[in-house]
Amino acid sequence: MIRALATRALEALVTLWLLVTLTFVLLRAAPGGPFDVERDVPPEIAANLAARFHLDEPLPVQYLRYLGQIARGDLGPSFQYPDFTVGELIRAGLPATLLTGSLALVLALALGTVAGAFAGWRAGGAADRAVTLGAAFGVSIPKFVAAPILILVFAVWLGWLPAGGWGEGRHVVLPVAALALPGIAVVTRLMRGSTIEVLSSDHVRAARARGIEGHDLFLRHVLRPAFAPVLAWTAPAMIAVLTGSTVVEQIFGIPGIGRYFVQGALNRDYTLVLGVALVAGLLIVVVNLVVDALRLWLDPRLRSG
């Protein structure tokens, strides 16, 4: 198990390096630059700005310089926010992103697991059909559509919740719901199919032959193996939450790193985009490692393999 996790960690480091390299190349290949929005800047001032941020150096030199910086834990200065470093901006925005993302992930896992297990346990019935229809509807609605609908219903029509902003507990409700809705639908479908499959397995039939039924059968023999596919989904779900946060944070005005990523991309703030991409990739890698460890613990067949 330790050897397998060490291999995963090495693969994670290579993945982060490839992520930084690809992002660096794509940013530099895109038309425009971080200071192109400035108007009537004298050539000497433009040259001084380029020299200050080392943009006058050859691209290979800039790339190696940036790798050296991140190896020391320095994400560099922000081009568009000159009073802040990229690290300071990310530290300011990361709590909001982590809060909304983690709550959305927990909500998706909790509600989706319960709904999917119930539908699988009652497969073929009216409740199963209703849950399956609701899950199909949830999967088909993207976050950029769900968020305005939630604002329209709960903020405009009913007036129960604020349409945006940050700082109070009620500001979290609609963004978390918008992020969690697709996840709830996916977990429901995964858990339903997995529950039906486990119920037809040999060890469940053997348990029923010993007279185990009802809640005891589900909790002791069905839940743990049925949850394994949902646990494997957690890693790509983290990617979906982080990518979805860029849209949701813009819509609800949340000061998170997703919003900084969008602002940085629009303004060609190279270091800010690279820093956010690196931190997001690191979060995804850590979640992957944790999920791999939990899967090895849940499924002995993976350990033997």
For the domain that residue 145 is a member of, what is the CATH number? 1.10.3720.10
Instruction: Let me know if residue 107 belongs to a domain.
Output: yes
Query: Is the C-alpha dihedral spanning 71, 284, 176, 248 positive or negative?
Result: positive
Q: Which domain holds residue 224?
A: 93-266
23-50 average pLDDT score? 74
Instruction: Let me know if residue 29 belongs to a domain.
Output: no
Instruction: Let me know if residue 127 belongs to a domain.
Output: yes
Q: State how far the Cα of 150 lies from the Cα of 248, in Å rounded to an integer.
A: 11
Q: Residue 200's pLDDT is what?
A: 82
Q: Residue 261's pLDDT is what?
A: 87
Instruction: Let me know if residue 40 belongs to a domain.
Output: no
Give the contacts of 37 (CB within 8 A, at least 6 positions apart): 267
Question: What is the domain count for the chain?
Answer: 1
Q: Residue 41's pLDDT is what?
A: 64
Instruction: Let me know if residue 26 belongs to a domain.
Output: no
The answer, yes or no, to whether residue 7 has pLDDT greater than 70, is: yes
Q: What are phi and psi of 81, to 5 degrees?
A: -120, 75
pLDDT tens per residue across span 243-295: 778 889 888 989 888 888 888 888 888 899 999 989 888 888 887 777 777 76
The three-state secondary structure class of 77 is strand
Q: Residue 304's pLDDT is what?
A: 53
Q: State how far the Cα of 111 lies from the Cα of 135, in Å rounded to an integer.
A: 11
Instruction: Let me know if residue 113 belongs to a domain.
Output: yes
Q: What are phi and psi of 214, to 5 degrees?
A: 65, -140
Q: Residue 12's pLDDT is what?
A: 78
More confident residue, 51 or 73: 73
Q: Residue 40's pLDDT is what?
A: 60
Specify the amino acid at residue 81: Y
Instruction: Let me know if residue 46 belongs to a domain.
Output: no
Q: State how far the Cα of 46 lies from the Cα of 129, in Å rounded to an integer.
A: 64
pLDDT tens per residue across span 211-247: 777 777 777 777 778 888 888 788 778 777 777 788 8
pTM score, whole prediction: 0.80
Instruction: Let me know if residue 285 belongs to a domain.
Output: no
- As a whole number of Å, the end-to-end CA separation of the chain is 10
